[in-house]
Amino acid sequence: MHPWLTEEHTMIRDAVRRFAERDIAPISETLWEEQGFPYDVWRQSGELGFTGLPYPEAHGGGGGSWLSFVIVLEELARIDCAVANSLMANSSVASLLNNFGTAAQKETFLRPILDGSRVGSIALTEPNAGSDAGAIQTRATLVDGGWVINGAKIFISNSGTEVTGPVVLAAVTGRKPDGRSEISNIVVPSGTPGFTYGKKLKKIGWRASSTYELFFDNCRVPADNLLGAQGSGLRQTLSTINTGRILIGALALGILQGSLERSTAYVKDRSQFGKPISSFQALQFKLADMAVHTHAARLMLYQAAALKDEGKPFDQEASMAKLFATERAMEAAHQAIQIHGGYGIMSEYPVSRAFGDAKVLEIVEGTSEIQRMIISRALLN
């Protein structure tokens, strides 16, 4: 047993694994091909308490630990990373609302995304603002007691579904004395006039994670929908993004574990040249590398989550864990396809789908290059 795990963590793992294998695995290929949001799975996740696990019970959460939530995401991603990402992206919104929202905002917007009746979406990225979040151009102007929003967002997870809402939007609300943009977070409910969706975006992975363009044309929301203090949007986002890096790492860990298990089972079953391919040292070494990387990534991620649960600094550990887990997941997914040969490149096989999912993980919540910048700056400072 890992040093951070208790009997409760083991029970959570067993429950999520049963759920994923029973209810997600049979529909995973269909979700991939049809690129459909898993409504039934999302509802069941809420009923089982997975969506709100690490958040306060006072607002409909489970009052659990972040390490427990990492285990939930790991086990879901082991079967289907896109489904796991829906919970991960929802948690980004939940963290912002929980940490900075008013009591009224928490009751109106946080509770539904914790109990699984709605799914939250965070709208930060724009066509010309990705890693450089300070370059966003969407604007919100305070007019007659309300925010009037104009602009566009892209690559927004959990958008465009029948249960999407709220959307936490980052917008320029003024200028700082030094001329830089003042950025604030504003809560925009789905169905607000002036808020529309563009095309659904087709991705290399995460195909069951609904992703759209968002457009705002004189979209008006009440002034009370401002999240926290005006101008504190980037600070709010940066204060929660390190948690997101742990969670993305958890998705990568799921892909690592899944790639290892599928590859091990395949080499035991497949024969070539009159003997099982498990007898070939070249393939044995691939499995050994996967096992080592899976174990190392798990230790790094569990430590980062445990530090967060203890209220200790974890920023550098989160970046290290995210970088290592996502890059090793990409490598493991690649080797799993190599081991499976022709079967591995067919989309009906999970190893093929995991390859696309793994690539996405190296991009979101800060690319590998951004993580290396963060780690090296910490070392040099």
Q: Just list the catalytic residues.
A: 365
Three-class SS state of 218: strand
Max distance between CA atoms of the chain, in angstroms, equals 79
Contact (CB, 8 A) for 97 and 112: no
Report the alpha-carbon distance of residue 232 to residue 106 in Å, rounded.
18
**243 beta partners:** none
> Which residues have a Cβ under 8 Å from the Cβ of 288 and sit 6 or more positions away?
none
- Say if CB 362 and CB 246 are below 8 A apart: no
Hey, what are 152's tokens? 């566009």
Tokens of 335: 């080797």
CA angle 184, 188, 193 (to 5 degrees): 125
Strand-pair category, 211-222 with 164-175 = unpaired
Region class of 144: left (phi > 0), else alpha (psi between -120 and 50), else beta: left
C-alpha distances (whole Å) from 161 to each of 128, 164, 212 are: 25, 5, 10
Output DSSP code: residue 129.
B
Pinpoint the alpha helices (H) of 275-367.
Answer: 281-309, 315-340, 350-361
